[in-house]
Structure 1
Amino acid sequence: MSTPQPLATLSPEDLAGFLAERRAAYAALQAKGLSLDLTRGKPSTAQLDLSNGLLHLPTTTTDRSGADVRNYGGLEGLAELREIFAELLWVDPEQVICGGNSSLSLMHQVMTFLMLWGGPGSERPWRDEPTVKFICPVPGYDRHFTMLADFGIEMLSVPMNDDGPDVTAVKALVADDPAVKGMWIVPTYANPSGSVCSEQVAAELMSMPTAAPDFRIMWDNAYAFHHLTEDEAKSADALSLASAAGNPNRPLMFASTSKITFAGSGVSVLAQSSENKAWYLKHLSLASIGPDKVNHLRHVEFFGSPDGVRAHMRKHREIIAPKFAAVNAALTAELAGLDIARWSQPTGGYFVNLDVMDGTASRVVALAKEAGIALTPAGSAFPHNLDPNDRNIRLAPSFPPLAEVETAMAGVATCVALAAAEKLSQ
């Protein structure tokens, strides 16, 4: 079998032959009548089944202090649950608040509080600032960007590298502009690149001078425990790094069990400095008299300890790691050597980042849709859905059964090759 040749180096005759072959392959793909979905990073039914034991819990109505979890109170969340996640996130239990099923809701609450009242160190509410800007590593998480857009916050893109955000670019943006109030980061197995923020990069982010005295880093640790290999990445200790640098209020750390237990009825976590915590609880107390402590106790009984969470996540790994391997196998089989695409091989998280030939991502997504394969819209991993190079596609293989992932990814590879051949033939 001959070694594939970079597509751009083919003669016009050979390129025409390649294009004809891929058109035939695509016609065969369409004839299969597929209906497959790789759009969102949802846990599969098999993963959800791992947590069915929650349905029979809790076995008691009181926490270890004797307080009735069915009643009002406990705004910070159940102490036992906070201790479990404090160890997992390498923070102090006193820094942790546990809430409802969605860390995204916590993020939105924090942003709302900052806009309405400002935070510790703010000169005024952010809504009274002439302009508010946020740094957004790209490719990144679409829901972060749509939230900022809804608040009317200007987004400044910086590259997301293998070891985290481009620190040089970030420093240049924050140094002289007080309107730059914060940034988003998914530090461990980033969405969608799978990057892991190094300790060095994290330290620089927490210590860098900023023109805004109330600069915040929204540290979304959504995938901190979602390992795909036995070599488990350790998330940088953002709170300790910030405190040591004299910026204890800079990071706000979020996490949840949305992809650990039940996506719709898990628990969420917010870890922060003592001053940020007092500020957050002050405003939260006007909206809530306490979270769902019954569900908190249910999770405490189900996991038992931080090691219980780690053991549970190894079961998740057994289910989804083969799906990620299938993505890599399908893309390698069809595209390796053609020099028309590159893709991540993440060691954790929920996504594969696929970069195709510039100017073809939208075409790939459209071709896939016409063949019955739903992909996240091109550009979704960029602010306002605008990928300036039209090259990025986020793949989410967790939800479909393995056989469907294999079928879908073979089809996606066909679409990538066809779109590239079309562009080079123009």
Structure 2
Amino acid sequence: MKNLKERALEYHKNGKPGKIEVIPTKLCSSADELSLAYTPGVAEPVLEIDKDKEKAYEYTAKGNLVGVVTNGTAILGLGNRGALASKPVMEGKAVLFKRFADIDCFDIELDTEDPQKIIDTVKLMEPTFGGINLEDIKSPECFIIEKTLIEQCNIPVFHDDQHGTAIITTAGLINASEVAGKKLSDLKVVVNGAGAAGISVAKMFVKAGVRIENLLLCDRNGVIFKDSEDNNSEERSLFAQDTDLRSLEEALVNADVFAGLSAAGALKPEYLEKMANNPIVFAMANPTPEIDYKLAKSTREDVIMATGRSDYPNQINNVLGFPFIFRGALDVRATKISEGMKMAAAKALASLAKEPVPKEVISAYGQSFSFGPNYIVPKPFDPRVIEWASVAVAKAACEEGLAKYPIKDWDLYKQELKERMKKHWK
């Protein structure tokens, strides 16, 4: 049997190179249809949009089109490989947007590390898209880019490495704490990894109910504390504690939660042994976790474990987030993706994991699942995710006054989502 490298390269090379193509949605097989698709008929929607910019959502693909934008400086597990090398990842994101939420995408790789150039370029492209998914941009530049674009753009801008990871991890934490018999407000939490994902996870944990004084943020040098040399950004300073603890090992003594967004092997078995009863471990470094799943289980039978991998229970996979978050945001023409919309998605995913799984999940994975230590987040191939997460996001946008096109009939919207996705679940 061929190894993963051989199979992956063949997958991307065979047939048409890459993973995406553009397919027209209207017929153009006669002279009459040609005159409608282009000149002279195309002048009519141009004039309508010129009079009312919102008409672009009626006459163009803008309302269902997301730009996936990167410069390739922080490719998951691979680091800075540049804009061109990031293209397979961005095409992959486009596939997932389409497969799980029927959203069309253009992948855009920008050959610059200058955050202002990225900001200017994306801002200039705003008329093209209904939303922007920022991806694989290193910190701290990613914070600056996203914050500025949210302020300047009137469409949703979402950095998935930060918020997608945080949303799924928070859904997992809500359920893992319940399985462990602990309250969020009582948890002692250690987040290892102070980059974009780690800081976003820490922020969302606090919004979910973890007390900030009970959360320690660590980087490769250990605990980030008051007056630390590593306390060198606004984001890090939010979590700089007044503590004598310095190493990750010291931080984990009696800790309830380890959330790793760092490097392979960072969580040693002897560190895990020092954690509290029913420890919750999110080892999300890819492709090799902070601690191997089997090693963690052999070290502590009571560990509640999640990783970023699909071959172990409880995969923390961003595909549970970004397609459905954008689906809900696009469907109400949200002007932004708010903290409330993100938390709504996390809570919806946590709730769905408590429901009996449908036959589609059993078929996709060859087994059934039930809420407990080995099933704290839903599976991506659960067709109900779009109904739960997208509806929750859309409702939150409407409640917060961020929807330019509020939904009136939620039952009808759920049915429309089901109908929309039927072709993808055949």
- TM over 0.5, yes or no? no
Larger RCO, structures 1/2 (Cα 8 Å, 6+ apart): 1
TM-score, with structure 1 as normaliser: 0.30
TM-score, with structure 2 as normaliser: 0.30
